[in-house]
Amino acid sequence: MAGISGVNGNIAISGAIGGIIKSWTANFTRASTDITGFGNATRNRAIGIIDLTGSMTGSLDASTSPTVAFTGNTAAAAITLTAEGGNTLVFNAIIDAITVGVAVDGEATFSANFGIASTATAFTSAVTVTWT
């Protein structure tokens, strides 16, 4: 067992991202419905659909337009989130927002948000988790 530092992290999506990325996040959530009834001693909840959204941040790329991933991927595309070699999450996603920022004192930032877009009938089919 060993900790992962992120030094060898990476993110890739079919087609170009349009930025040079230095960090990513993935946020797993699942809906839950309160079905507490009379007689229950505690809250009772029913499990719901899993959602997976995330973000990436970095700098603008001089050679690739920042809008390319936003307008180029009109259908769900496979995105690969790498923590390090052998530890990856792969799923189909759409990029639903990008933010571009430039400051005269040096920063030229790029960030994008993505969300899972899958017709799979099982989580294991929708998200391929490789963790060795």
Q: Which residue ranges make up the site for another protein (CB under 8 A)?
A: 9-11, 20-24, 58-59, 104-106
Is the Cβ–Cβ distance between 19 and 110 less than 8 Å?
A: yes
Nearest approach, Cβ of residue 106 and another protein (Å): 5
- 40 - beta bridge partners? none
End-to-end CA distance of the chain: 10
Q: Would you say 77 or 126 has its CB closer to another protein?
A: 77
Q: Would you say 39 or 106 has its CB closer to another protein?
A: 106
Q: Would you say 24 or 70 has its CB closer to another protein?
A: 24
Is the Cβ–Cβ distance between 79 and 73 less than 8 Å?
A: no
Nearest approach, Cβ of residue 69 and another protein (Å): 15
Nearest approach, Cβ of residue 7 and another protein (Å): 8
Nearest approach, Cβ of residue 104 and another protein (Å): 7
The two structure tokens encoding residue 39 = 């007689």
Q: Would you say 21 or 79 has its CB closer to another protein?
A: 21
Neighbours of 31 (CB within 10 A): 11
As a whole number of angstroms, the distance between CA 71 and CA 96 comes to 10
- Identify the three-state secondary structure at position 82: strand
